[in-house]
Amino acid sequence: MQVPQQQVVLIVKIGHDHDSECAVVDIAEAVEMLAGPVAEAVPMIAAHIPPDLGAELGRLGAVRDEEVQTSRGSSAGDAADPAGSPVLAALRWLGPVVPEQLLAAQELAVPDLVLAGMVDLSPLLGQPPAGSFYMVHSGDESQAVTAVRFLEMLRPGAAELAAALATRLAAHPVAAPLLAVGADVTGEAPIAAAHGTAYLALAVAAASAVLGDWRAPLLADSPAAAAVGVAVGTAVLLLRDAPVPAGYAAALLAAKARQEYTMPARTRTGSWSSTSGTLTGKEREFPRK
């Protein structure tokens, strides 16, 4: 089979002396282990997420399926790759720009989680299968997508474990309050930014705990790519089903009203004469907003 010119075949050989079967993970126990450290890590991670990117994610749950499909071509979680996980499908659905920008923003934050003593669950995943494999890599594919594809080949189940942990943590009494948007946050963009940022920060913490210091082969210059890629895909899945923050609907309507409002193209100006009882003046052209 001939490989298109814009694609590259990556061949990697992996070898080890350990059993390749994955260990059984007790999700409930893992959630209890993670709840405290995640609650401490979320604010630090959130500080590294630009508000405009947080808002991009935070709007996902507020946009109806028809609008999402029109703007992006398919709904989040659709299986773009039948062999891939829902996390990878959601990451791809988001497109390359936002994940790459988030990766750039999180490059320093993710390694800090290990240094801060984040619980490391990576030993529970077992060792990768030995042997060689190949992967077709498109030149316009983001580093985050490439890293998650490597992850799913070498650590099957890791992305799904991170997503499952993040889902449970979102409902945990210790971590859940961190996802609420404060009553003092007003306006469509600030509310969306706070909403998206909180869920992404939670997902980054969960992904980092699962992956530990795992690095994707051939992506040594981007050590956080796998964790951020898994986190972004997980955040997309969570935010699609998360309740919209209180006040967002009203803020969205107000923002749309301001955006759609335009002054009349022509308006009459002049002055009223009390002696003649007539209005004199002329029409003026006003620029539209």
Q: What is the pLDDT of residue 260?
A: 77
> Is residue 285 situated within a structural domain?
no
Q: Is the pLDDT of residue 198 over 90?
A: yes
Q: How far apart are CA 108 and CA 207, in angstroms?
A: 15
Q: Is the pLDDT of residue 130 over 90?
A: no
Specify burial of residue 31 (Cβ count, 10 A radius: 0-12, 13-18, 19+).
buried
Q: What is the pLDDT of residue 131?
A: 57
**Residue 126 sits in which domain range?**
7-246
Q: What is the pLDDT of residue 90?
A: 96
> Is residue 196 situated within a structural domain?
yes
Give residue 70's identity as a one-letter amino acid code. T
Q: What is the pLDDT of residue 61?
A: 83
Specify burial of residue 140 (Cβ count, 10 A radius: 0-12, 13-18, 19+).
exposed
52 versus 286: the higher-pLDDT residue is 52
> Is residue 269 situated within a structural domain?
no
- Percent of the chain with pLDDT strictly greater than 70: 65
Q: What is the pLDDT of residue 272?
A: 41
> Is residue 279 situated within a structural domain?
no
> Is residue 16 situated within a structural domain?
yes
> Is residue 289 situated within a structural domain?
no
> Is residue 15 situated within a structural domain?
yes
Place of tokens 């992404």: 200
Q: Is the pLDDT of residue 132 over 70?
A: no
Q: How far apart are CA 96 and CA 165, in angstroms?
A: 25
User: Would you state the structure tokens that stand for residue 285, as one six-digit string?
Assistant: 């052209």
> Is residue 288 situated within a structural domain?
no
Structural domain count of the chain: 1
Specify the DSSP class assigned to residue 128.
P
User: Would you state the structure tokens that stand for residue 255, as one six-digit string?
Assistant: 């923002």
Place of tokens 């061949």: 11
Q: Is the pLDDT of residue 82 over 70?
A: no
- What are the pLDDT digits (tens) for 159-189? 999 999 999 999 999 999 999 999 999 999 9
Give residue 168's identity as a one-letter amino acid code. R
> Element (H or E) spanning 118, and its range?
none
Give residue 186's identity as a one-letter amino acid code. T
Q: What is the pLDDT of residue 165?
A: 94
For the chain, the farthest-separated pair of C-alpha atoms sits apart, in whole angstroms, at: 104
- What are the pLDDT digits (tens) for 137-152? 555 688 899 999 988 8
- What are the pLDDT digits (tens) for 210-228? 888 777 766 656 788 999 9
